[in-house]
Amino acid sequence: MEVVIVADAEAAGTLAAGIVERLLAGKSDSVIGVATGSSPIITYRRLVEAFDAGRISFADAHAVLLDEYVGLAADHPQRYRRFVHEHLVDHVDLRADHVHAPDVDADDLASAGPRYEALLTQLGGVDVQLLGIGTDGHVGFNEPGSSLRSRTRIKTLTAATLADNARFFDHPDLVPRHVMTQGLATIGDARHLVLVACGTAKAAPVAAAVEGPLTASCPASILQWHPHVTVVIDEGAASGLVHSAYYRETHAGKPSWQHY
């Protein structure tokens, strides 16, 4: 796991976007796993700028959502598909039919998870999965206690996540209780995981994920089990790490030939 401590959220987003930009330059039909929430917004802004500057095209690429709320109308402003359109898809040449999400509107929600898994397989797997981390240590919406081998399925949000996400809704009671999320094994199948976290509210979950035990109690600790992970954090999110001096020294001495 490569832990990169940067000055601020702008630098974190720029670094994460650079990873996607490089991926697209080498593989135009990349499958990009897209997270939602505050953490990836600057990353998407930088990607739109790279597209505007003519450095990248998404014409052959696919975007796959990490998760989606269950129970919101298809045109609800907080639907994650809408979020991804608003922050990325509507500003680049990514085809709308190349944007995929768990089918939370299906009559049979139990089969929607396996169908999403089949789709990911059909696309050839995810090349880079962008991730945020919840204050309770979730990735995707795999809340504490999620099976380390879980696949896409319905999950119930914790009180902590409901409270965190209330800021996006008119009233806390309007936050959906249920989501459909890629599982921890699904996320682990992506070839490169890039987690962005900023601010002191993320210090404890980042420390648990990076330096704590591998445990379902901190679902983001599955990062430790993956062969290619980049954790991009600002000073606030890094403030709970015991080995931050080592991560800084390692990054400062990163060989010029070695990419993220």
Active site residues: 67, 136, 138, 143
Told to check if 13 binds ligand F6R by CB under 6 A, we report no
Structure tokens at 4: 């990169």
Say which residue the tokens 């680049």 belong to.
Answer: 92
172 and 166 Cβ atoms separated by less than 8 Å:
yes
Q: State the DSSP H helix or E strand holding residue 193, giving kind and residue range, or none if neither.
A: strand 192-197
- Closer residue to ligand F6R in complex, CB, 51/141: 141
**Strand 67-69 vs strand 128-131: parallel, antiparallel, or unpaired?**
unpaired
Helix, strand or coil, per DSSP, at residue 41 = helix
Minimum CB separation of residue 102 from ligand F6R in Å reads 11
Stretch in the footprint of ligand F6R (CB under 6 A) among 51-59, 132-140, 230-238, 248-256: 132-140
Told to check if 44 binds ligand F6R by CB under 6 A, we report no
Told to check if 183 binds ligand F6R by CB under 6 A, we report no
Residue type, 141: F
Q: How many residues bind ligand F6R (CB under 6 A)?
A: 14
Helix, strand or coil, per DSSP, at residue 250 = helix
Which of 134, 176, 188, 219 is the binder for ligand F6R (CB under 6 A)? 134
Residue 145: C-alpha distances to residues 137, 202, 215 (Å): 10, 19, 8
Residue 31: C-alpha distances to residues 47, 174, 186, 189 (Å): 15, 32, 14, 12
178 and 71 Cβ atoms separated by less than 8 Å:
yes
Which of 138, 151, 153, 155 is the binder for ligand F6R (CB under 6 A)? 138
Stretch in the footprint of ligand F6R (CB under 6 A) among 16-24, 42-50, 128-136, 249-257: 128-136
Which of 33, 37, 176, 183 is the binder for ligand F6R (CB under 6 A)? 37
Told to check if 30 binds ligand F6R by CB under 6 A, we report no
Q: State the DSSP H helix or E strand holding residue 128, giving kind and residue range, or none if neither.
A: strand 128-131
Which of 23, 56, 61, 66 is the binder for ligand F6R (CB under 6 A)? 66
Minimum CB separation of residue 22 from ligand F6R in Å reads 22
Helix, strand or coil, per DSSP, at residue 229 = strand
Told to check if 153 binds ligand F6R by CB under 6 A, we report no
Which of 113, 132, 183, 219 is the binder for ligand F6R (CB under 6 A)? 132
The contact set with ligand F6R (CB under 6 A) reads 35-39, 66-67, 132-134, 138-141
